[in-house]
Amino acid sequence: MVKRRFELITAMAGILLLGGLTAQGQQASDLIVFNAKIVTVDDEGFASSTGTIAEAMAVRDGIIVSVGSTAQVQAQRGPDTRMVDLNGRTVLPGLIGVHEHPYDWTLVNPYILKDVVSDDKVVIRVINGSPEEQLQAYPGVVREAVGKARPGQWIYIVLTLGENYQYSSRGNAGLGGVPGQYPVALFGAGIGRPSMIAKSDLDIMAPENPVLLRDTFTQLLLNTKGLEEIAKVFPEDITSQINHENGIGGADPIRWVFTDVVMRDHYEELKEMSRLGLNWWAGYGMISFASAAYSPTNIRVFHELSQSGQMEMRNLWTWNWRNQLFVNDDYLLSTLIQMEGSGNDYFWNGGAFLATGLGCTVLEPNTEFLITQPTCGLPPGSDAYQLVYKFIKRGGRFVTAHFTADRDIDHLMDIVEQASREAGFTREQIRARRHTFDHIPFLRPDQLDRIKELGMIPGSNSFEIYQSSPGVLKVYGEKALDWVVPKKALADAQIMSGFEVDRGLESTNLTVFWALARFITREAWDGKVYGQSQRISRELALKTATTWGAYYLAKEDVLGSLEVNKWADFIVLDRDYLTVPENEIEDLRVLMTVVGGKIVHLVPSLGRETGMEPTGAQVELEAAAAGW
């Protein structure tokens, strides 16, 4: 009897222990969304299928732990689980931009600028209207700002490019602006036009204040006082990127002049601007992006935000700062290569990149309409060619690089093949690096097989379709239109390609879904459709911005689709992406964004319906409230 009692007690203890372990293994979820249409995008193939459609999803500790029917998933509910009934709304994976710069675009966001930086720190003004209206207004704006500023205080003035970006003069390759087709550019030097604003005029209007003018893309203008101030901070090899005669600079200086010089004594304000700017883009539905870190302050700010849990987008960052430094410096080169992968889930290093030239194509231009002389960025034998060769030979990943035409893509592929062969890499090792090139205003059909064989993942800038296509037709003819961001050709060749916006949407009425829709409609700024044969389905467009983008970031195991054990990064839409009329995809709005299981954007209408407090920069700064 004693023996049987002991066996019974032992068995019961085992049952209790097993029960305890089972309960521990089935901990309650932190968040459950249910009664939804969850488009998981777990089909990463090249057919127009997004894979499994589910009703509910459970999240614990920032990770998806269950996807299925509402009944199945609600079984993981606990006393503290937040239950969100979405009433049939569509849920998508959070969108991924493979070449994006929220850090840059924050600096032209009028709502964030106004909210964070007061006149006693930096006098900031934003001018709207047509280029002609802005040209007429800017002298008065400068005089008013000078009247507010103390002697020596910075003045920062943003000149916008229209609510639909209609006043931009060109795309990334300098192919968009054709004389007579676009309104005048505010700053024209460097893109074949005279500057409409003179540095000498700024010197007269602001003799005692450094002044920085910029547009909402990549042009800036500094007065003499401003040039003197940047020389105090950076050495000549950096400041020489700005033409000291006319005060005009382009893409690289625009990234560091404001952050590292204008805001040098206002770091906490700059950090808060960056926090809000990342959250603003999360409000568009973009939750991850790849980008070069364009200045020392960029790295410091993002590192601190990611370490403190305040970073609400994920960022693969790459080196793009004074590339000439490691041409002959093996120590720095080795350090950069060893850094790859270091960081955390929100901010990690992914490689390095070197910007390239403009419009370097095999096509012969019609010089009557050409406004920018084509130049190659990686010509064989050049310092740039040797730099990239050395980097890839040592095992570095070449990623997030600005490429504008097909000949430079040839040059890059030559480098990848030759440097990798010299290093002794196998074909599998070359493909595993997933070297990339972005924008692709021009990509030839005969390049596709080689791109696939090398395992490369191109980015794709949807704004090139919108901005460049009319100019491409004028300059290079009908044939070239099928080379402009050829998404259909890439998909047919079974090459994964990513999604880029690469524009400061904050000063416009446009959204990330508007940009994504260019892949589907191929509609340009003049309302016409160009390169119609390269249109892709909405399902394939979604893959470029989700699962294929995750491959670009080399995070496909945890990102890009809504599956168990992946990061809980998802968005809720106001309408169904898969069924709305095609011409309405660009009007979709994001009602809620969740990153790592945390609600970082929630509009008032859905907040009221679900009993949750609205949140997010777009909501708190009341920029988008009228649209909901």
Q: Identify the CATH number of the domain in which residue 11 sits.
A: 2.30.40.10
Q: Which of 250, 265, 280 is the last residue of a domain?
A: 265
My answer on whether 80 and 122 are in the same domain is no
pTM: 0.92
Evaluate whether residue 592 is within a structural domain: yes
- At 57-106, the pLDDT tens digits run 999 999 999 999 999 999 999 999 999 999 999 999 999 999 999 988 99
| Number of domains present in the structure of the chain | 2
Pick the range with the lowest mean pLDDT from 6-20, 259-273, 508-522: 6-20
* pLDDT greater than 90 at residue 503: yes
Q: Are residues 78 and 142 in the same domain?
A: no
Rounded distance between C-alpha atoms, residue 409 and residue 143, angstroms: 47
CA angle, corner 86, sides to 85 and 88, nearest 5?
125
Measured between alpha carbons, how far is residue 23 from residues 11, 26, 71, 77, 81 in Å? 18, 5, 19, 13, 16
| Tens of pLDDT, residues 132-181 | 899 899 999 999 999 999 999 999 999 998 898 888 766 777 665 444 44
Q: Is the pLDDT of residue 2 over 80?
A: no
10 is a domain residue: yes
Place of tokens 């675009």: 105
- Last residue of one domain, picked from the residues 265, 296, 327: 265
Same domain, residue pair 122 and 92? no
Looking at the structure, do residues 61 and 159 belong to the same domain, yes or no?
no
CB atoms within 10 A of CB 379: 16
- Say if residue 257 is in the same domain as residue 122: yes
**Domain end position, chosen among 232, 265, 298:** 265
**Domain assignment of residue 372, yes or no:** no
Residues 127 and 226 in one domain: yes
Residue 15 has pLDDT above 60, yes or no: no
192 and 125 fall within a common domain: yes
Residue range(s) defining the domain that contains residue 190: 118-265
- Render pLDDT for 141-154 as a digit per residue (tens, 0 to 9): 999 999 999 999 99
Summarize the confidence of residues 274-278 as an average pLDDT: 97
In a domain, 109, yes or no: no
Q: Clarify whether residues 122 and 90 are in a common domain.
A: no
**Within-domain flag for 52:** yes
Assess whether pLDDT exceeds 60 at residue 247: yes
Quickly count: other Cβ atoms within 10 Å of residue 581's Cβ. 8
Confirm whether 467 is domain-assigned: no
pLDDT at 18 over 50: no
Residue 192 has pLDDT above 60, yes or no: no
| Confidence band of 448 (pLDDT split at 50, 70, 90) | very high
10 and 138 in a single domain? The answer is no
Give DSSP secondary structure letters for 416-455.
Answer: HHHHHHHHT--HHHHHHH----EE-S---GGGHHHHHHTT
Does the residue 242 lie in any domain?
A: yes
Does 363 fall in a domain?
no
Please check whether residues 91 and 122 belong to one and the same domain: no
Q: Pick the more confident residue, 565 or 248.
A: 565
Token duo for residue 138: 């800017």
Mean pLDDT of the chain, nearest integer: 89
Percent of the chain at pLDDT > 90 equals 72
Write down the pLDDT at residue 137: 94
Together in a domain, 189 and 223: yes
- Identify whether residues 72 and 199 lie together within a single domain: no
